[in-house]
Structure 1
């Protein structure tokens, strides 16, 4: 439902699941999301007014489809602290580990930059210009009026 938001929340270190990871075409998707949220003690973030209503106190209706507005809404609600942490994989949500992925031992990155990797999907992460750009972008999103 909010794939870009989910990716940013993961970069901020938040444990999140995405409805995009569920099998497509399921007519009971909302019911499944409510069940997963209940079992895993998760908050549902959705633009779907009906799903937010059904989720009662465990759901927040996102009032905009704009990523920056969604992040500002969550910050203003006191649900998140907007800071890029690189502790979770942006693709699969697994906790990152220090070092180089065993699957990608020859990643061409300067030696003085610490590496982290996902033990599930082997994606590599490091502090670079892309991370600085994400931090700058996040700061702009939060401070945008």
Structure 2
């Protein structure tokens, strides 16, 4: 397992993660922060472990046995609270705040900016009138914008100290 305070991530190469079934919410938030996170909820532990090793991803888990089996790639998450989990990853040197590009919280694919006219019929009228920037997931084609949910995400980041 990764040792407390051990520095792994560098600005030039952000870490990539695999999250097990117990950490779906953390996986979505890390994606919104821009981190590449494969979420594997209904997969046997051995397959999660193989994927982490094959792709040199840190394995995020609340399962102590799985974290031990993953050895240096294993990251045991002690806390159940999301903010505490994010702080824990920051304290371990694995994340350092938001990356420049957000990923789709569902698909894990980097979002792409789309011109406002292209989303007119795909978002509620009020959203279209009040927002200037829109982003699309090239895989699932969901449209995202910086609405009140995004403000809540940013408030959480500030609470953590980013």
TM-score (norm 1): 0.83
Q: Which runs of 5+ in 1 are unaligned?
A: none
In structure 2, the gaps of 5 or more residues are 1-21
Deviation per CA, 1:59-112, whole angstroms, max 9, x where unpaired?
A: 1100111111110100111111223755210011011111169x9651232375
Query: Is structure 2 residue 38 aligned with structure 1 residue 17?
Result: yes
More strand by proportion, 1 or 2?
A: 2
Contact in 1 for aligned 2:131/2:145 (Cα 8 Å): no
* Corresponding residue of 1:69: 84
Q: 1:115 aligns with which of 134, 140, 147?
A: 134
Aligned to 2:6: none
- Give the drift of 1:132: 1.2
